[in-house]
């Protein structure tokens, strides 16, 4: 097996940890700002996303200590656009999730053929994050519209 670039992997894992922790704060914040008829299901969906981000942050932290290293205690950038309609929240979520997905993809590239555990972890996370992005994309389509709001990158 080729050698793993441990510094690069650690850098990516720490950025992932920070991005996922920012997700916890972001989704929790959004969940306070939903009003109107559909408030209850949307608030509960946002809180589920916050909980999922926390699980993802914990998984990234566990990978860091598995490598015998110290996890970052910072959180990723938070953007408050002060746009609180559900469409704006979803678009903002799609953008920030795309950045996290990019980090997981980079981690997968770094680990491919070099570390089974990190490769497997990164692959599962790319799958989970892509599925999540597709769910948000479907929520951004108008009822009756089939084509993707933002078509996914299918290859790579």
CB of 51 or CB of 85, closer to Fe ion: 51
Of 36-44, 56-64, 67-75, 135-143, the window that binds Fe ion (rule: CB under 5 A) is: 56-64
Nearest to 30 by CA among 42, 19, 16, 18: 42
| CB 121 within 8 Å of CB 59 | yes
| CB 26 within 8 Å of CB 81 | no
Of 55-63, 70-78, 84-92, 136-144, the window that binds Fe ion (rule: CB under 5 A) is: 55-63
CB of 43 or CB of 128, closer to Fe ion: 128
Alpha helices in the chain (DSSP H): 6-31, 39-66, 86-111, 116-140
Q: How far is the CB of 144 from Fe ion (least distance, A)?
A: 30
Total residues interacting with Fe ion, rule: CB under 5 A: 1
Q: How far is the CB of 53 from Fe ion (least distance, A)?
A: 5
CB of 39 or CB of 99, closer to Fe ion: 99
Decide if residue 56 touches Fe ion (CB under 5 A).
yes
| Vertex 31 angle, CA 34 and 130, to 5° | 110
When CB distances to Fe ion are compared, the closest residue is 56
Question: Hey, what are 19's tokens?
Answer: 């991005």
Run of H or E including 93:
helix 86-111
Decide if residue 105 touches Fe ion (CB under 5 A).
no
Q: How far is the CB of 52 from Fe ion (least distance, A)?
A: 6
CB of 119 or CB of 129, closer to Fe ion: 129
Question: Hey, what are 107's tokens?
Answer: 């981690």
From CA 149, how far away is CA 156, in angstroms rounded?
Answer: 20
Residues that bind Fe ion (CB under 5 A): 56
């Amino acid at each position: 097996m080729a050698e793993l670039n441990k510094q690069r992997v650690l850098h990516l894992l720490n950025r992932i940890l920070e991005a996922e922790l920012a997700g916890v704060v972001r989704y929790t914040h959004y969940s306070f700002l939903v009003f109107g008829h559909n408030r209850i299901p949307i608030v509960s969906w946002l809180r589920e996303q916050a909980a999922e981000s926390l699980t993802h942050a914990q998984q990234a932290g566990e990978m860091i200590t598995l490598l015998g290293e110290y996890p970052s205690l910072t959180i990723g950038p938070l953007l408050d656009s002060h746009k609180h309609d559900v469409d704006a929240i979803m678009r903002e979520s799609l953008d920030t999730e795309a950045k996290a997905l990019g980090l997981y993809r980079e981690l997968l590239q770094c680990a491919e053929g070099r570390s089974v555990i990190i490769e497997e972890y990164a692959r599962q996370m790319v799958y989970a994050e892509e599925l999540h992005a597709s769910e948000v994309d479907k929520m951004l389509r108008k009822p009756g519209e089939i084509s993707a709001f933002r078509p996914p990158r299918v290859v790579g």
